[in-house]
């Protein structure tokens, strides 16, 4: 078991990573024996995982709310459903929510926890690779609105994150690959150890070997927690976590958020951003090829050619990475460090997307 800490001051929390069962005593000491617990999960999370989680909890008052799986559940109506349930169960400020699922469940549970009675405790137990390495850490919570994805939300840290690689055994291939897209991002934006591990072990990663999974999850979280602890409200350095996201989000939007996972879109976005980094003279052709080869060694899709600048432009102009009317890009340099810049030649975007 590895323990990593994130957050500052009163909103500090620990992230426990294991290849086996969740740590029962850590979980229960955070929940309290007498408190009410509401587990929020979705219909895609295998029932055996939910059953196992319930068996670990000592409290006599454990309830479960199952949302429909999929992005559509990150909505006002699901939010209302959760809040109504909390009133029905007469939750007070000492009671606890558990987000048990992927990023969808994590984001809406965190948002509900941040608003109910002006804030109650919540625990993240992520069950997808993407949620384990990304969305469960950092305290960004949100729901989607017709105006766009994640536009209503709050920065609100969980009190604990518990991760077991065992949950990943039941994850569909496309969801696993989606998470790998985010793992590889940490390798490109500064975690050289992770980059080395991925380059040496693509087969083990593809086969989901528990020990390698623990290592890559641990390294991903170390990078994420270091960055989000420095910049909790995303006013500076945290932006580099968005490497590949300007183009990735545009690809997701172009597909109406269907038929492509978040991680797969971000992976294509990272290739586009790396090409721009090369055209701008920040990395060599050798390094660009290294990035593409690494992505391809994990069996991830590298074919972004079907997305042209003319297709993605309108979605990029509504991206949150625009400040003062200027598009900011996250690019990388020859040391594999990401940086934010508004100084680039727009022609290089169309060249990367031609």
Which stretches of the chain bind ligand NAD, using CB under 6 A? 42, 44-46, 49, 69-71, 74, 101-105, 107, 127-128, 130-131, 134-135, 138, 140, 150, 167, 170-171, 175, 178, 262
Map residue 19 onto helix, strand or coil: coil
Gyration radius of the chain's alpha carbons: 20
Q: What angle do CA 41, 139, 338 make, to 5 degrees?
A: 120
Of the pair 107, 219, the CB lying nearest ligand NAD is at 107
> Which of 249, 275, 282, 304 is flagged as catalytic?
249
Min dist. Cβ of residue 204 to ligand NAD (A): 20
Please say which residue, 100 or 278, places its beta carbon nearer to ligand NAD: 100
Q: Which two tokens stand for residue 347?
A: 């022609």
Residue 232: how many other CB atoms lie within 10 Å: 17
User: What is the nearest approach in angstroms of ligand NAD to the Cβ of residue 218?
Assistant: 18
Find the shortest distance in angstroms from Cβ 285 to ligand NAD.
31
Residue 337 bears catalytic tag? no
Contact by Cβ (8 Å): 250, 316: yes
CB of 45 vs ligand NAD, minimal distance in Å: 5
150 assigned to active site: no
Nearer to ligand NAD, 250 or 349 (CB): 250
Q: Which is nearer to ligand NAD, 182 or 219 (CB)?
A: 182
Q: Could you tell me which of 257, 250, 315 has the C-alpha nearest to residue 103?
A: 257
Residue of 90, 118, 285, 343 with catalytic role? 118
- Note if 242 is an active site residue: yes
| Residue 63 annotated in active site | no
Query: Which tokens belong to 211?
Result: 């020990």
**C-beta of 140: minimal distance to ligand NAD in Å?**
4
Is 245 considered catalytic here? Answer: yes
Nearer to ligand NAD, 36 or 140 (CB): 140
Q: Tokens at residue 220, please?
A: 């991903």
Residue 318 pairs with which residues in a beta bridge?
Answer: none
Catalytic residue status for 262: yes
Q: Are strands 148-155 and 140-145 parallel, antiparallel or unpaired?
A: antiparallel
Is 334 a known active-site residue?
no
Tokens 């169309």 belong to which residue? 350
- At residue 139's C-alpha, the angle toward residues 195 and 44, to 5°, is 80
Active site annotation includes 58: no
Q: Is the dihedral of CA 204, 49, 178, 176 positive or negative?
A: positive
Out of 182, 201, 275, 328, the active site residue is 182
Q: What span, in angstroms and rounded, lies between the C-alpha atoms of 198 and 209?
A: 13
Active site members? 118, 140, 182, 224, 234, 238, 242, 245, 249, 262
């Amino acid at each position: 078991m590895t323990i990593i800490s994130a957050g500052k001051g009163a909103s500090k929390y620990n992230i426990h990573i294991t290849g086996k069962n969740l740590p029962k005593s850590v979980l229960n000491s955070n929940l309290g024996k007498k408190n009410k617990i509401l587990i929020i999960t979705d219909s895609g999370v295998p029932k055996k995982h939910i059953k196992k989680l319930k068996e670990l909890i000592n409290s006599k008052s454990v309830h479960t709310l199952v949302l429909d799986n999929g992005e559509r559940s990150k909505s006002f109506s699901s939010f209302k459903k959760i809040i109504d349930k909390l009133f029905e169960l007469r939750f007070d400020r000492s009671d606890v929510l558990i987000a048990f699922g992927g990023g969808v469940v994590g984001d809406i549970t965190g948002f509900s926890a941040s608003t109910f009675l002006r804030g109650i405790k919540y625990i993240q137990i992520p069950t997808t690779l993407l949620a384990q390495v990304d969305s469960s850490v950092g305290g960004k919570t949100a729901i989607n609105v017709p105006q766009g994805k994640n536009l209503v939300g709050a920065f609100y840290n969980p009190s604990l994150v518990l991760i077991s690689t065992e949950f990943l055994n039941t994850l569909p291939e496309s969801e696993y690959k989606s998470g790998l897209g985010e793992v590889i991002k940490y390798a490109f934006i500064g975690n050289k150890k992770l980059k080395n591990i991925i380059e040496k072990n693509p087969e083990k990663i593809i086969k989901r070997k528990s020990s390698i999974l623990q290592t890559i999850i641990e390294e991903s979280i170390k990078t994420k927690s270091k960055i989000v602890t420095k910049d909790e409200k995303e006013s500076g350095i945290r932006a580099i976590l968005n490497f590949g996201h300007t183009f990735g989000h545009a690809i997701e939007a172009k597909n109406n958020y269907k038929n492509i996972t978040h991680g797969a879109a971000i992976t294509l976005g990272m290739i586009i951003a790396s090409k721009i980094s090369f055209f701008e003279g920040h990395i060599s052709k050798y390094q660009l090829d290294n990035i593409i080869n690494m992505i391809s060694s994990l069996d991830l899709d590298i074919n972004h050619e079907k997305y042209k600048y003319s297709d993605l432009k309108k979605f990029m102009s509504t991206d949150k990475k625009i400040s003062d009317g200027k598009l900011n890009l996250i690019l990388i340099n020859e040391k594999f460090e990401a940086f934010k810049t508004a100084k680039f030649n727009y022609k290089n975007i169309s060249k990367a997307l031609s």
